[in-house]
Every structure is written in C-alpha cells, then in structure tokens.
Amino acid sequence: MGVRSPATPAVRGGIMLKLSRLSARSRFILNILVTVASLLLCTFLSLMRLPGMEILGIAPNWLLIWLVSWSLNRSCLDSVVAGLAIGAIQDSLTSNYPSHIMVFGLIGFLTSRLHRQRYLKEELIAVVLIVFVMTLIANGAIAFQYYLQGGKNLADLWLDYQRIGLTSALLSSLWTPLVYYPLQQWWRQFSDL
C-alpha cells in the first residue's frame, strides 16, 4: 500500500465527515466565515502588487473574480446585493468617482442571469470566459463614466480603455481558477450536506 496524497477522495471524505458532525448552525457560521474571509483576501489582493501579477501596471480585478464566482450559484437579487456591496468596498479602496457600485451590481445581475438561462455551464473554461467578458463590461462602464465626466476626448479614452480593459480582462481571466475553484468546492460541500 502506498501513501495517499492529500487530494484523494478518502481525505476529502474525512473532511466531509467532520463537517457533517457539526450542527447546522455551526456549519452555517463556518460557511459565512469562509465566504467573508475569501472576500477579504480578494480585497487585500486588490491592494497588493505582487511580482508577476501585473502587466503594464494593471493587476487582476480580484473583487470581480470573486463576484462572478459568487453569482454563478445565487439568485439575481443575491448577486445584485453582493455586487452593490463589493462596489462599495471597491469605492472605499479607490476614489468614489467613477463609481463601482452600479457597475458591480450590473455584473452580479448579468452573471446570475447568464447562469440561470443556462447559456453557459459551470465548467472552468466557461467561468474564465464569463470573467473575461464581465471585466470588459465593467471597464467599459467605468470608461463611460469618465466620458460623462468630461475632461478627456473620446479618442484618448478609447485608447486607454483598450489597453486597460483588455489587459485587466486577460489577467483576471487567467487568475480566475485561483479564486473560483476552491470557493466552488467549498460551497458544493455545504450543498451536499
């Protein structure tokens, strides 16, 4: 007999067995703590510029990745409320103009609707594609707010949007599995109990 690796079903089953021994209230509290901790981790990652995580001075949009991961299995209302809250967090970390609140609310709504309509399944490549498109939409909405504010002509804004939007979408989609996969595994464990 060989040594079992930590990823074997027996080990995961052992964790599931230990979680199933907890009371329903304890599991609920633990689920909330893990969810909030993951959101805080994404918030801290948004503030950090780790080597190799940015291109052209642009980093992944960690909060958007978290929101898409959250919204895939939630109702539209839950997703919009989470988007509004995450937008408020983003606005508190950066300037309040352009506002991220409505942008993230829209992203939560669109992601939830895409999944509810069964346009895309919950496979990793589909989630990466959703994050890519939602990042482009979010950056487009931010660019539109800059246009409404004035001060920049449309040609300069379009050039900035192309560079920022595509780079952010590419980086965010590449880093999506780091956030999506562990969270989905965690949430599936609780739905199975």
Lookup result for tokens 């989630």: 127
Q: Residue 74 and residue 154: Cα distance in Å, rounded?
A: 37
The pLDDT of residue 119: 61
Q: Sort residue 192 into left (φ over 0), alpha (ψ -120 to 50) or beta.
A: alpha
The pLDDT of residue 191: 74
What percent of the chain lies above the pLDDT cut of 90?
53
Domain ranges of the chain: 52-180
Q: Which residues sit opposite 55 in a β-bridge?
A: 58
Q: Residue 183 and residue 73: Cα distance in Å, rounded?
A: 11
Q: Residue 89 and residue 169: Cα distance in Å, rounded?
A: 20
pLDDT, tens only, 44-80: 999 998 888 889 889 999 999 999 999 998 999 999 9
